[in-house]
Chain A
Amino acid sequence: MNRESEKARDKSAPRLVLILFGVTVVVAALLGLVNHITKDAIAEGKAAKTSAAMREVLPADDYTEIDIEGKAGDIVTGLYEAETDGAPAGWVVLAAPTGFGGTISMVVGIDASGAVTGVSITAMSETSGLGANALKEDFRAQYRGKSGSVALSKYGGGIDALTGATITSEAVTQGVNAALKAVAAISKGG
């Protein structure tokens, strides 16, 4: 429309690009630095949390990862064979069902007879005060000793859902079921 202002814009455009580029480069460099400092601590924290959870659900001396490619479905993200004094002690399954507020990362321990030895939740973003109560021992302990498949009480299973957090309870149940299924598939196949 206005010739003159258009010209002025043309002239200033490269300068604008350069300034924005400069700001971005500086910020990116700083981010790289912070990432470099925190990378190891974050990875260490995550690994420590997972291995602590594995030890909690199924105490054993040694955990060996088993390849489960295409055998265990979408929910199971990892499967470890646990050994104590060289004898198989059972399996530890990492599962990631979808809850109310995104993925729930959980660890399920299953003994050699196929019964759940423990459930631990390593990361989730459920509503605090409701779904986040899944972290409580009372809820997780309900899964202990169950085998085959588990279900919430309202579907005739023995698991009492958390008050006001049916979706979270169902997700955790789903995770345990997926873990049981994966172990069944592995122990049958191998």
Chain B
Amino acid sequence: MKRQFKDGLIGNNPVLVQLLGMCSTMAITTTLFNGIGMGVSVLVILTCSNIVIALLRKLIPAKIRIACYIVVIAGFVTMVDLLLQAFLPALSASLGVFIPLIVVNCIILARAESFASKNSVLASAVDGVAQGIGYTAVLVVMCVIRELLGNGTFGGGLIGPGGAGIRIIPADYSALLVILPFGGFITLGCLIALMQWALKKSAAKAGGSKGAEK
């Protein structure tokens, strides 16, 4: 179980290593509020869909499994969407179309196909939480970097007067392009490079135990 968490966060991080869910990562990581909201939404949906798919894994025939997964995932996404609209309208307004788009977030389908459909309910639930935390962690890092460099603030939407965040860099010196999609690609690229470098380094350190991976 500890290994699953480590994998979700580092070794097999959904965004930085599996390179899944890039679209939402790029699109919503402009304020900390968005990042945490999106991360937690995906975590909840991923865990729920993993549990249900693990429960149904012996019942669902292989031929129609993808269709069944999509129905289950879409169901959970719509539920979360409705619940957010009802009880957290500010977050719902801010994430906009990206909540419904979680349906096609490949992290969820990938985990359903590669993990939940082959493992027990408990292991799948843990996998959902671990991968969800990994996704959220990347979003938070992206948000902090992009918000700080692009807007000059920290914690936008969460703290500060009117949710404006705490200003760290004066408004005149912030690099607007970091907030734009272009900046999202650059930031994500740097993070992936950093992650690969760190993974390679730790693999080199581990030396001969390379075969032990997986």
Contacts and interface: CB of A to CB of B under 8 A. Distances in A.
Q: Chain A contact residues: over half helix, strand or loop, or mixed?
A: helix
Interface in A51-92: none
Interface of B: 30-31, 34, 56, 59-61, 63-64, 67-68, 71-72, 74-75, 78-79, 82-83, 85-87, 89, 93-94, 96-97, 147, 150-151, 176, 179-180
Given A16-B64, A23-B71, A34 B93 contact: no
A49 to B, nearest CB: 7
Contacts, number: 79
A32 to B, nearest CB: 11
17 contacts: A12-B63, A16-B61, A16-B64, A19-B60, A23-B60, A27-B72, A30-B79, A34-B82, A38-B83, A38-B86, A101-B96, A102-B97, A123-B93, A125-B96, A127-B30, A128-B94, A130-B176
Contacts of A23: 56, 60, 68, 71-72
A31 interface: yes
B42 to A, nearest CB: 18
A149 B151 CA distance: 33
A1 interface: no
B68 A129 contact: no
Interface in A137-186: 163-164
Nearest to B89: A45
